[in-house]
Amino acid sequence: MKYPLAEPQRWKDLLLWANESFVWNDILVMLAPVLADGIVLTYPILLLVWYVRWVKEKNDIYKYGALYVFSSAVAVAIVAFLVQVFVDKSRPEWYIGNADMLIMDHLPTAPFPSDHASVWFAVAVATLLRAYRKDKSKLKYVGWFLFVWAVVMACSRVGVGIHWPTDVLVWAMLWTLVAWVLSTKYVRSLCEIYVYKPLVRVQKWLFSKVGIDW
């Protein structure tokens, strides 16, 4: 039994305004696949590059940073999935009405919350928290870059008519809360003992089998 959820009228009006602004701009229409969907492919690339770079430093603390960001994304994805199981909310196509205003296809999945926005904001916020806690200047730039891209993606997914505004907006608190909880001293120490260290040991064991001393 799912709980039905409807979009408030003020957010419906915002959706129509965003969709019209997006559709009647040829540049935004051309960039729509990248702005609203394409950059999601950078998730695994970013984390892989980050981990490999820090693995080469032979410092497990760096590896824990990459694993912390990854675990934040996984935790948010799990929570988002559980919400989708119990909440019934339709996508905004029916409200937009005009097929010409729908410029992107999407998978037939539940819209609330937005998987793309949830995971991307989790990655961005976790990166920023890690950067400021360790006072890493370069990582701060990366974190803010990711955060700006998260905002662009969220707005774009509303503009192309894939999500309602609350699908991406309401979950801002969740993205921040999950990343913050995982960054607290107590939870972080538990994760390092029971998650990060075992994963790093497995990584070292696997690499040793192919002659790589990382």
Task: Check residue 208 and give its pLDDT.
Answer: 77
Beta strands in 80-184 (DSSP E): 87-88
CATH number at 18-209: 1.20.144
104 — pLDDT class (breaks 50, 70, 90): low
Choose among 14, 103, 117, 21: nearest CA to 73.
117
Task: Check residue 56 and give its pLDDT.
Answer: 63
pLDDT at 5 over 70: yes
Choose among 130, 140, 131, 122: nearest CA to 179.
122
Task: Check residue 44 and give its pLDDT.
Answer: 67
Average the pLDDT over each of 70-74, 114-118, 183-187 and give the range with the smallest value: 114-118
206 — pLDDT class (breaks 50, 70, 90): confident
Q: What is the mean pLDDT of the chain?
A: 77
| pLDDT tens-place string over residues 38-69 | 666 666 677 677 666 666 666 667 777 778 88
Owner of token pair 């019934």: 88
The pTM for the full model equals: 0.78
